[in-house]
Amino acid sequence: MDASVAMVVWEMATPTMLGSVAAALGCVFMVVCLWVRLRPSRRRLQINRPLQRMVCVSSTSSNTITASESSCLEAASQGACIDQQFAAIVCEITDLAHMVEEPNKTEDTGEWMIWMVHRAWLNDPTLIDFNFSNLRMPFPHVESRIAPKLMAAMATNTHITTLNLTHSNLQNSQGHQLSESLRKNNKLKTLNIDSNNLNSEAIRAMADALKENDQSALAVWTFNNQANSGNMFGRPVEQALASLMEQNTRIVKLGVGCQDPHWRMRVDRALLRNNDSARSRRKSSVLQEEELVVATEKEISKLTLINLPRKARWEVWQDEDSKSKLVCSQTAEAKRLPTEEQIQAYATSKGARLKYSEVAPLAKGFRSKLLDAVVQTQVTVVDKYEKETGGTLQGWTEKNERFSFDVLVDSSTRFSCTAAAKHLIIEVGDDFAVWLKPSEV
């Protein structure tokens, strides 16, 4: 064959051959992608012998497994294709001791959700914080063993205190189901269901359920930014929230703002009341714990004030006169409370005149106001062996020229520090001296 003819034939055949090769490679690529998308999880289950029998029992129901597998294609469109064999095994477990190994949350999200929900269903005592935030749960008609089962589990679960379902594809039907669980649950403290698909009826059902449950421990409830409602749920819901809050004494944060001024005022007033009550309970709890610690007697020679009082200086000495300013200034300069003789000498050096009868009441009044101001702040004490100990000053008393200071060191150590008034040295730190210094004397 002539070389020119061969070249023409080659040029005509090349595009056809290349097109065929590209088409073949495209088909192979599509098959591989489909296989990766629909292939079952490669994770090997770590199953005890009692659980192996459960696998055999569940596998005999071939019709059920086939029906479940048919839902995987629909679940796959939501990014939550679930290994049905794994799910069946997990849901057959009735003893936490036989629970299978935790799936990989990132690679096997659907199986991990099944595993987590079943732990809640079995009331796992180690599961305190339940978090599906930003994890899209399958629709309830696609997979009933996640969202519907979790809502039902919350009715009897006694260990989960925080349920975070922010942006988790929670639907209206599960909102109503959750309301029934809230009617019974008395352990949940924080419920976050922001950014889901709940309507006004679902939110109102939850409010009514919480109102009926006088044993509810819920303190924080947020439900902002719902797909169909945003933050506007209408007057009936706002009225239900106000009715709930006026009766409920535990909720301190309601993550939504009422649009109607009347209902907003009633809700805000109730929240303010509940927050005040919560602070009182916390303070009472701390005091009860402190009272359980038996104080050890300790004779001290020096007390140093470290932390600044919570009040400004002018609030401590509201009726401050020139004489009190003199003592403040002297204490700030020396970083130590002066004696009566030192106060009189300092006043004379400043050109002020103090009667002898005025010095003792002035020194005692100044000291009392200063010590009252530093209660619940950090101090250090030095005992007669020159050992320094730091702690929180819980209180103090003075009787018959003797001081007694209650100092809490930690949760298990407490000292009752005593000292004779004429021998006790009271010092202040550098920052304290700046706080104590008056602007002018």
Pair (316, 430) in one structural domain: yes
Pair (258, 339) in one structural domain: no
The answer to whether residue 19 sits within a structural domain is: no
Q: What is the pTM of this model?
A: 0.53
The answer to whether residue 49 sits within a structural domain is: no
pLDDT of residue 75: 46
The first and second tokens of residue 310, run together, are 């919570």
CB 248 within 8 A of CB 210: yes
What are the distances in angstroms from CA 12 to CA 6, 7, 18, 23, 148? 10, 9, 11, 18, 64
Q: 238 pLDDT band (50/70/90 cuts)?
A: very high
The answer to whether residue 50 sits within a structural domain is: no
Question: What are the helix and strand counts (H, E) for the chain?
Answer: 15, 11
pLDDT of residue 363: 87
Please, is 198 exposed, middle or buried when counting C-beta atoms within 10 Å of its C-beta (0-12, 13-18, 19+)? buried
Pair (236, 333) in one structural domain: no
Pair (333, 361) in one structural domain: yes
CA-wise closest residue to 181 among 202, 214, 153, 205: 153
Pair (346, 407) in one structural domain: yes
Inform me whether the pLDDT recorded for 63 exceeds 70: no
What are the distances in angstroms from CA 271 to CA 205, 250, 277? 20, 9, 10
Q: 44 pLDDT band (50/70/90 cuts)?
A: very low
Q: How far apart are CA 55 and CA 58, in angstroms?
A: 5
Query: Which of 121-130, 139-148, 217-226, 283-292 shows the lowest per-residue confidence on average (mean pLDDT)?
Result: 283-292
The answer to whether residue 73 sits within a structural domain is: no
Among the candidates 231, 261, 287, a domain finishes at 287
The first and second tokens of residue 212, run together, are 């009926």
Inform me whether the pLDDT recorded for 50 exceeds 50: no
Pair (257, 235) in one structural domain: yes
Q: How many CA atoms lie within 13 A of 319 on its CB side?
A: 4
pLDDT of residue 65: 40
- Domain total for the chain? 2
Q: Tell me which residue range forms the domain holding 197.
A: 100-287
Among the candidates 287, 302, 329, a domain finishes at 287
Q: 69 pLDDT band (50/70/90 cuts)?
A: very low
Q: 256 pLDDT band (50/70/90 cuts)?
A: confident
| Three-state helix/strand/coil letters over 206-245 | HHHHHHHCCCCCCCEEECCCECCCECCCCHHHHHHHHHHH
The more confidently predicted of residues 43 and 115 is 115
pLDDT of residue 102: 93
Q: 347 pLDDT band (50/70/90 cuts)?
A: confident
Q: 13 pLDDT band (50/70/90 cuts)?
A: low
Pair (266, 304) in one structural domain: no
Q: Which residue is associated with the tokens 């099944």?
A: 114
Pair (394, 274) in one structural domain: no
Q: 140 pLDDT band (50/70/90 cuts)?
A: very high
The type of residue at 190 is T
pLDDT of residue 380: 94
The answer to whether residue 32 sits within a structural domain is: no
Pair (158, 217) in one structural domain: yes
pLDDT of residue 388: 92
Query: Which of 19-28, 236-245, 315-324 shows the lowest per-residue confidence on average (mean pLDDT)?
Result: 19-28
Please give the average per-residue pLDDT across 413-422, as a whole number: 90
pLDDT of residue 41: 44
144: domain CATH number is 3.80.10.10
Pair (239, 268) in one structural domain: yes
pLDDT of residue 401: 85
Among the candidates 265, 287, 309, a domain finishes at 287
Q: 175 pLDDT band (50/70/90 cuts)?
A: very high
pLDDT of residue 316: 80
Q: What is the mean pLDDT of the chain?
A: 81
pLDDT of residue 37: 52
Please give the average per-residue pLDDT across 178-187, as a whole number: 95
pLDDT of residue 66: 44
Please give the average per-residue pLDDT across 2-16, as a whole number: 53
The more confidently predicted of residues 363 and 113 is 113
Pair (370, 222) in one structural domain: no
The answer to whether residue 441 sits within a structural domain is: no
The answer to whether residue 253 sits within a structural domain is: yes
The answer to whether residue 23 sits within a structural domain is: no
Inform me whether the pLDDT recorded for 56 exceeds 70: no
pLDDT, tens only, 82-97: 889 999 999 999 999 9
pLDDT, tens only, 360-373: 888 888 889 899 98
* Total residue count of the chain as it appears in this document: 441
pLDDT, tens only, 218-233: 999 999 989 877 778 8
pLDDT, tens only, 303-336: 999 888 877 777 787 656 778 888 888 899 999 9
Pair (259, 324) in one structural domain: no
pLDDT of residue 411: 77
Please give the average per-residue pLDDT across 280-301, as a whole number: 73
